[in-house]
Amino acid sequence: MNRYYQHQARPGWGPSFAGTMVAKLIAANVVVFLLQGLFPIITDYLALTPRFVVERLWVWQLGTYMFLHGGFIHLLFNMFMLWMFGATIESVWGPRQFLRYYVICGLGGAVGSMIFNYNAHIVGASGAIFGLYLAYAMMFPNHRIYLYFLFPVKAKYLVMGIAAIQVFNGLTGPAGIAYFAHLGGMAAGLLFFKSDVIQRWRFKTGPQKKWRQYMNDRQSESDTAGQGNIDSILDKISEKGYDNLSEVEKRILDNYSRNRRDGPE
């Protein structure tokens, strides 16, 4: 795996968050959920029913289902996960790239459902959210996430465990949960990271092209930084986004990531 920046996630609800793609997606999901309550027929037409996609050609359901939810708790959990992981990912990728990835993972969830849940009625952003889990683990594999707010687990191991649970439950678990939509979202995310074709499209323009150069650059850098510098750089990413870092700050962050990766874990 190419090198990714390691940092402490610092998502927030400040003024800078309001204009992010994550905030817009949360708002869209909340608005659609309210409309579901007012006009229940919306769910019948926009939820994913694979049989209807094939037999009635209701192809829009492949995308619309990810903005619907089956209840308040379902919505709350998915939006919390979108904020928790998505804010950090967007701060590195930027809004356009983040939206591309989110939609691709949501479509991957739809494909997984088409294959394994042909007669099901599926709603929820979980396919896209599970794709965000995958992206976070790929980008920040050694960052520790507190499971149940108590137990620190490295992101890469946590996501491996999540994927294994989804496979097991998909094969043996009770009906009513779209496990294969979750796996489809993760599979789409993995394809997004690994496919050379998608990589070329993914980093076609702007800041993403620069980031790809950093990912592929294995030249030795002489810059070093103390933990204090790293913390200030991470705070700047949280407040203003990765694109607002200076070239020197980017090199410092790159060196820190490489040293963490190559050193003992």
Q: Which residues contact 213 (CB under 8 A, 6 or more apart)?
A: none
Cα 100 from chain centre: 10
Answer yes or no: 182 catalytic.
yes
Cα separation of 71 and 124, whole Å? 10
Q: Which residues contact 211 (CB under 8 A, 6 or more apart)?
A: 92, 93, 203, 242
Q: Which of 25, 224, 225 is nearest to 129 (CA)?
A: 25
Cα separation of 169 and 223, whole Å? 47
- How many C-beta neighbours within 10 Å does residue 215 have? 17
Answer yes or no: 126 catalytic.
yes
Give the DSSP per-residue string, 48-72: B-HHHHHHT--TTHHHHGGG--SSH
Residue 256 and residue 225 in contact, taking contact as beta carbons nearer than 8 Å: yes
Give the DSSP per-residue string, 183-244: HHHHHHHHHHHH-HHHHHHHTSSHHHHHHHHHHH----------HHHHHHHHHHHHHH-GGG
Active-site hit among 126, 143, 238, 257: 126
Active-site hit among 7, 69, 182, 238: 182
Q: Provide the token pair at 241.
A: 């986004």
- How many C-beta neighbours within 10 Å does residue 76 have? 13
Catalytic residues: 126, 182
